[in-house]
Amino acid sequence: MNVHGGNIVATARALGCGVQELIDMSSNLTPLGMVPGLREVLAQGLDQVAFLPEAESEALCQVFARKFGLGEDEVLAGNGTTEFIFALPHLFAGGRAIIVNPTYADYRLACTWAGVSATDFMLTLDRDFQLDLDRLAELLRGGELVFICNPNNPTGAVTPTRDLHAFIANHPATFFLVDESYLPFTSQPSLLHSELPPNLFVLFSTSKIYGIPGLRLGFLVARAANLTTFTQQRKPWGVNRLAQLAGEYLLQHADFYVEEVQRYVESERKRFVAALNNTGALRVIPGAANFMLCHLPGRLLAPQLAEKLLARRIMIRNCATFAGLDDHFFRVSLKGRDENSLFLSALQDILSES
């Protein structure tokens, strides 16, 4: 559990300060705060925690299916996308998986727990960690499960949806789990807007774009036949009632908010990356998400930088725990402009001292 960022509550406790005193740039959440109207929805629905939620989140799945033009039997709602990341490899127990790395550590952990042998497909710094689909194709034998995060965490690199869809369709003997948790921060369309290939699973997260990781709500989308095992073996009431109400509201009323976030990220990212590059002391990996992977080529390492920033109540993500990276890499996520400026000023001071 220590391989994740965004551990702001424990960090505040260790520092003896309030959560509100920290600037958490280690967590890849929306920089614009809570979606307008959501607080009221949660307050009005509070009395509904006195009874059981819908066993399979039926109304919520109907809303999701209508939004993306899917069949209701092609959508499952879960206790965050984490539920599905850990459940899916069990369908391939005793088999093989390929993980496009560096990426989110829980993919490998989920395979380990399910008894699936995982092979790393390593992306490289010299190619800015861009996914080479032709090179990936050389590893495919059929029957395996391939994990792809798009845009990738922590690199921020994005593979065009059209290219990814064609690749998946052209390799029907291999199954793919595509995690689109950060795609709403970009202008790329979702795979959900295309016809679903029969060998594709797609994850949709509400935590990142809507900023509600504490509610734990995610979706798994696939052809109905591929979800049969899930529907037969899942426990009931996996999504709490407040998360169900929040999901219904957000899917129907938050498109304007997503568009606002996209505009902000596109604009602020340019300013932020330019300032990082102007330090002359690090390299920013090109990407399109709401976070940036940075490489420190000199003597100052990410753990040291993180410690110095934490002394100023600023949290970043040391990326040494990601496969294929080391303690020369850190990840930083966009926040509000004032918070971003505070970070940039602190970073410049520390780099100048070093």
Rounded distance between C-alpha atoms, residue 4 and residue 27, angstroms: 9
Sequence-separated (6 or more) residues with CB below 8 Å from residue 307: none
Q: What is the CATH number of domain 38-255?
A: 3.40.640.10
Mean local confidence (pLDDT), 32-40 = 97
Q: What is the pLDDT of residue 235?
A: 82
Question: Is 90 exceeded by the pLDDT of residue 234?
Answer: no
Question: Is 60 exceeded by the pLDDT of residue 190?
Answer: yes
Q: Structural domain boundaries of the chain?
A: 8-35+263-353, 38-255
Sequence-separated (6 or more) residues with CB below 8 Å from residue 55: 236, 237
Q: Given pLDDT bands bounded at 50, 70 and 90, which one contains residue 326?
A: very high
Q: Given pLDDT bands bounded at 50, 70 and 90, which one contains residue 250?
A: very high
Note the CATH architecture for domain 8-35+263-353: Alpha-Beta Complex (3.90)
Q: What is the pLDDT of residue 1?
A: 43
User: What length does the chain have?
Assistant: 354
Sequence-separated (6 or more) residues with CB below 8 Å from residue 267: none
Q: What is the pLDDT of residue 70?
A: 97
Q: What is the pLDDT of residue 6?
A: 59
Question: Is 90 exceeded by the pLDDT of residue 20?
Answer: no
Per-residue three-class SS string for the chain: CCCCCCCHHHHHHHHCCCHHHCEECCCCCCCCCCCCCHHHHHHHCHHHHHCCCCCCCHHHHHHHHHHHCCCHHHEEEECCHHHHHHHHHHHHCCCEEEEEECCCCHHHHHHHHHCCEEEEEECCHHHCCCCCHHHHHCCCCCCCEEEEECCCCCCCCCCCHHHHHHHHHCCCCCEEEEECCCHHHCCCCCHHHCCCCCCEEEEEECHHHHCCHHHCCEEEECCHHHHHHHHHHCCCCCCCHHHHHHHHHHHHHCHHHHHHHHHHHHHHHHHHHHHHHHCCCCEECCCCCCEEEEECCCCCCHHHHHHHHHCCCEECEECCCCCCCCCCEEEEECCCHHHHHHHHHHHHHHHHHC
| CA-to-CA dists, residue 257 to 33, 100, 210, angstroms | 10, 31, 9
Considering the chain, what percentage of its residues have pLDDT values greater than 70? Answer: 98
Mean local confidence (pLDDT), 270-298 = 95
What mean pLDDT is reported for the chain? 95
Amino acid sitting at position 57: S
Mean local confidence (pLDDT), 205-222 = 97
Say what the pTM is: 0.95
Q: What is the pLDDT of residue 17?
A: 82
Q: What is the pLDDT of residue 18?
A: 82
Rounded distance between C-alpha atoms, residue 231 and residue 237, angstroms: 12
Q: Taking CA 73 as the corner, what is the angle to CA 69 and CA 79, rounded to the nearest 5 degrees?
A: 95
Q: What is the pLDDT of residue 233?
A: 77
| CA-to-CA dists, residue 39 to 34, 43, 46, 47, 332, angstroms | 8, 6, 11, 14, 27
Mean local confidence (pLDDT), 233-239 = 87
Mean local confidence (pLDDT), 214-231 = 93
Question: Is 70 exceeded by the pLDDT of residue 3?
Answer: no
Q: What is the pLDDT of residues 297-320, one digit of tens each?
A: 999 999 999 999 999 999 999 999
